[in-house]
Structure 1
Amino acid sequence: MSTSDTVITDELAIEIARLGMVRESSDVATLHRVTQLASRAVAGCAGATSLRWALDESPEPLVAASSHPDLAELVDLQLARREGPLFDAVRDRRPVGCDDTLAETRWPGHVAAMLRRGVRCFITTVLEYEQVLVTLTVYGVVPGALDPSRQALASLLLAQGGAAVSNTRQFGDVHRTAVQLQQAVEARAVVDQAKGILMHALGCDAERAFAELRRISQTRHVKLTAIAQRIVSGQGLSEVPPPGRDDGQGG
């Protein structure tokens, strides 16, 4: 790829905008899109890797994506040794890079691995955004190909990718809460129906009917909602396990 300034075409702009959309998508899928866009559009970039990290005192990677298997191996080497430019960038929360790996004296083991794979320069950018920590590393095959002054697009991709991961997490949290609330409403409705049936059958009030449901649930070690469901569906309680047995629904 040419090292000239990247022109953001309409197609590229749309793809970048789509990165930040709230959708039901995994972190790894989002990071994969970031790496693919970086390897295609960032000036001087021949490939890219991205990771999401746990926000702990000690850096812990959660998911990773790479545009090429050789680059995935470079990430794995750092994770296995728990050292390298990725860990430095995450610990210090600052970009880390190298203009020419042939002259690099930091991380000797990692640099040797990069040289064997044809990597001659790289820049790792880090972003912390709303409880999400992500890194994007772009690699070049020509010394000095990745001019830091022309890495605005890489930073934009990282920002959009971080926002996408954050949005996905928030969407998942909201979705799980909505499902739990719906389940709670449905369970309450079933229990209320069962109470009504018991009130009619036993000639008692709502409090006594609910107490009877709880008694059966506790003595037979079956969830109250399961007892209520059997009553409402007309199945009765004859097949409910007696005390001391577990039908797999207890808890």
Structure 2
Amino acid sequence: MTQPDRRHRTGRAGLPARPDWDDGPAVDTVGPMATSDTVITDELAIEIARLGLVRESSDVATLHRVTQLAARAVTGCAGATSLRWSTGGAPEPLTVASSHPDLAELVDLQLARGEGPIFDAVRSRRPVSCDDALAETRWPGHVAAMLRRGVRCFTTTVHEYDQVLITLTVYGVVPGALDPRQQALASLLLAQGGAAVSNTHQFDDVHRTAVQLQQAVEARAVVDQAKGILMHALGCDAERAFAELRRISQTRHVKLTAIAQRIVSGQGLPDDPPPGRDEAERA
């Protein structure tokens, strides 16, 4: 998407015209948009289900998919933003995703001030909405920024599960465009996105543990081989061979596994440290 025009533009009766970031169908800028009950098609159901799969490499990629799908699927939604938050203490954003640059600027404004509708939703763990920005009095500075970007209404939904706290804010370009009945769909998208983030973190933890175990097994195998070589060379038992490995590691300031690898590969032992090094380090 090309960078949108950031200038304040007005339509009829001085109201904001359709912003450049609104990719939706043309609508009348005066009066509320007609709404309907949520209809989940087979294609949409498949996309929502896929949100819960572990397929992204980062929270940003997952939340970006949530915002893109919300902008397409939620009736009256022209764009969306989604944030992952810390779950303890004061609200702290960990990840930010947006469907459009102008909406990302609205999020950045709230994060810079540490207040706004998204913060209110996170603190209360309840949805926060605005049907008409021109009639809104709760966030004067934020509302002015929304109007400059053509936003006339929004709804922020919160989802918390398994130490993952996520918000999804959907924006409309005409008053009342976001029917409350559409909140269920936004909540469903958010829940699936939260599940994907949680699953990704669990997968990362399991993968990290598996890698560490594999490295430990490989290191143990190398050490055992080095012990065998020393047992043959020194004519000693396994305990004495391991003690010798440990002594060499400590005196040469090289990890034991690295010493074992050098012995196994036939590279020989590293040189002794310069005289006085141990004393200097202890001093």
Please confirm whether the aligned pair reaches a TM-score higher than 0.5, indicating the same fold.
yes
Tell me the distance in 1 between the aligned counterparts of 2:102 and 2:267.
61
Give the residue type in structure 1 aligned to 2:231: M
1:249 aligns with: none
Structure 2 residue corresponding to 1:166, chosen from 198, 219, 228: 198
Give the residue type in structure 1 aligned to 2:273: P
Map 1:92-171 to 2 at 5 A.
Answer: 92-171=124-203
2:36 aligns with: 4
Q: Does 1:199 align with 2:231?
A: yes
1:248 aligns with: none
Q: 1:42–1:153: 8 Å Cα contact kept in structure 2?
A: yes
Structure 1 residue runs of 4 or more that deviate by more than 3 Å after TM superposition: none
Q: 1:43–1:151: 8 Å Cα contact kept in structure 2?
A: no
2:5 aligns with: none
Q: 2:84–2:94: 8 Å Cα contact kept in structure 1?
A: yes
From the superposition, tell whether residues 217 and 146 of structure 1 become closer, same or farther in structure 2 (CA, over 3 Å): same
From the superposition, tell whether residues 151 and 232 of structure 1 become closer, same or farther in structure 2 (CA, over 3 Å): same
TM-score by length of 2: 0.84
| Structure 1: stretches of 5+ with no match in the other structure | 246-251
Structure 1 residue corresponding to 2:114, chosen from 75, 78, 82: 82
Equivalent pairs, count: 244
User: How far is 1:148 from its partner?
Assistant: 1.4
2:266 aligns with: 234
Q: 1:132–1:166: 8 Å Cα contact kept in structure 2?
A: yes
Which secondary structure does the structure 2 equivalent of 1:189 belong to?
Answer: helix
Tell me the distance in 2 between the aligned counterparts of 1:94 and 1:123.
11
Which secondary structure does the structure 1 equivalent of 2:168 belong to?
Answer: strand
TM-score by length of 1: 0.94
Tell me the distance in 2 between the aligned counterparts of 1:24 and 1:30.
6
Tell me the distance in 2 between the aligned counterparts of 1:168 and 1:85.
28
Report the aligned-residue RMSD.
1.3
Q: Which moved more, 1:14-23 or 1:205-214?
A: 14-23
Tell me the distance in 1 between the aligned counterparts of 2:58 and 2:168.
17
Q: 2:56–2:62: 8 Å Cα contact kept in structure 1?
A: no
User: How far is 1:43 from its partner?
Assistant: 1.1
Q: 2:51–2:193: 8 Å Cα contact kept in structure 1?
A: yes
User: How far is 1:241 from its partner?
Assistant: 5.2
How many percent of aligned residue pairs carry the same amino acid? 88
